[in-house]
Amino acid sequence: MPPRLQLPAQLRGTLSRPAPATASLTSLLAGLSLRPAAATLSAGSVRSAHILASLAPNAGSTKDRKRVGRGASSGYGKTSGRGQKGRKARGQVNPRFQGGQTPLIKIKGKRGFDNLNAPKLSTTNLEQIKEWIDNGRLDPTKPITPKELIESGIIGSVRDGIKVLARGSTTFDHPVTITVSRASASAIAAIEAAGGKITTRYYTRLAIRRLLEGKSLHSDKPLPFGAEHVEGVLEEARKTGFKYRLPDPTSRWDVEYYRDPAHRGYMSHLLPEGKNPSLFFGVPTEKRARKKVTKQAKAVEEEKIF
């Protein structure tokens, strides 16, 4: 409702009855007061005029909400935009539903997913290792293991392992002997080019904690297979005086990784020469071409026999 404009008291009677014909426009304007209406009336009976009631957004800046089922004249009446009958008109349908056929995700399989069971590795770079060595926080003359990396502060937290990346490989010049969980191909090439040696070994979070607590001895030798080696391993463990031993991988992916010479795995010496690191796929063999026997050659062979 628009605001009501209050008129001065002297004009109320003038506007309520017709003005005489002799009244001039000048006399009517002279009776108007330029003072605000609130000055002539009491505060309780005044409603000041303002523009708040006429505020509105700019044309085209907002869009009306889609209101369905409000009659045929609304544009979305009757079927409310759902069409004629059918399952989609009467209820909700799972977006993955494909009409009852075998879902393609079962036929083709998943393409990409987040592996919640994947190990979470801490990462470090060659430039960080070089900086720690230059500052005296790492000793390049001694073997560098996850214990030294964590105790020196280059790795902030204990995770499932440590991976070395190749940032700073062009300036790395320390011949170090380092053992970590994984390493990129560029990092391996840079360490060996500097005269060092790198070995990848299987670790777990619990194994790294036992190394830090001094309850386990670090070793790059995997546990030998077979019952005949049990007594020898136990006797050697008793001599060391440590309570635990570093574990070896059990899953197929880990075994294949650490027996691969390309990854400098600590189990690569167990891989026979010429064998594939994979436990499933064998070494591709050269296929012999079958000799094509023609009918004429077959007849000649039969004549020689008889």
Give the chain's mean pLDDT: 82
Q: Supply the pLDDT for residue 188.
A: 97
The CATH number of residue 207's host domain is: 3.100.10.10
127 domain-assigned = yes
* Alpha helices for 241-294 (secondary structure H): 252-258
| Structural domain total, the chain | 1
Question: Which of the two residues, 296 and 67, has the higher pLDDT score?
Answer: 67
Q: Is residue 192 part of a domain?
A: yes
Confidence of residue 266 (pLDDT cuts 50, 70, 90): very high
Q: Which residues contact 50 (CB under 8 A, 6 or more apart)?
A: 3
- The Cα-based distances of 284 to 140, 155, 232, 276, 292 in angstroms read 42, 41, 37, 9, 24
Q: Is the pLDDT of residue 99 over 90?
A: no
Whole-angstrom Cα distance, residue 158 to residue 120?
10
Residue, of 248 and 285, whose pLDDT is higher: 248
Of the ranges 105-119, 129-143, 189-203, 235-249, which one carries the lowest mean pLDDT score? 105-119
pLDDT per residue over 168-209, tens digit each? 999 999 999 999 999 999 999 999 999 999 999 999 999 999
Structure-model confidence comparison of residues 143 and 99, the more confident one: 143
pLDDT given for residue 40 in this prediction: 47
Quote the tokens at residue 92.
């909700």
Residue among 225, 233, 222 at smallest CA distance from 269: 222
**Res. 143: pLDDT tops 90:** yes
Higher pLDDT, 11 or 118: 118
DSSP 82-138: S-SSSHHHHS---TT--TTSPPHHHHH-------TTS--EEEEEHHHHHHHHHTTSS
pLDDT on residue 276: 86
What pLDDT shows up at residue 273? Answer: 84
What is d(CA 197, CA 191) in angstroms, rounded to the nearest whole number?
Answer: 7
Position 81 in a domain: no
Number of helices followed by number of strands (H, E) in the chain: 11, 7
State how far the Cα of 117 lies from the Cα of 259, in Å rounded to an integer.
22
Higher pLDDT: 29 or 84? It is: 84
* pLDDT recorded at residue 50: 74
For the cut 80, the answer to whether the pLDDT of residue 17 exceeds it is no
Q: From CA 218, how far away is CA 259, in angstroms rounded? A: 19
Is residue 304 a part of any domain in this protein? no
Q: How far apart are CA 46 and CA 95, in angstroms?
A: 61
Instruction: Judge whether 253 lies within some domain.
Output: yes
Query: How confident is the model over 79-97, as a mean pLDDT?
Result: 87
- More confident call, 163 vs 287: 163
Q: Which residue has 């071409």 as its token pair?
A: 289
Q: Is pTM beyond 0.85 here? A: no
Answer whether residue 80 is part of any domain: no
Domain-located, residue 263: yes
- Share of the chain residues as helix, strand and coil, in percent rounded to the nearest 5: 35, 10, 55
- Whether residue 158 lies inside any domain: the answer is yes
What integer is the mean pLDDT of 278-300? 66
Q: Which domain holds residue 147?
A: 119-282
| SS3 call for 232 | helix
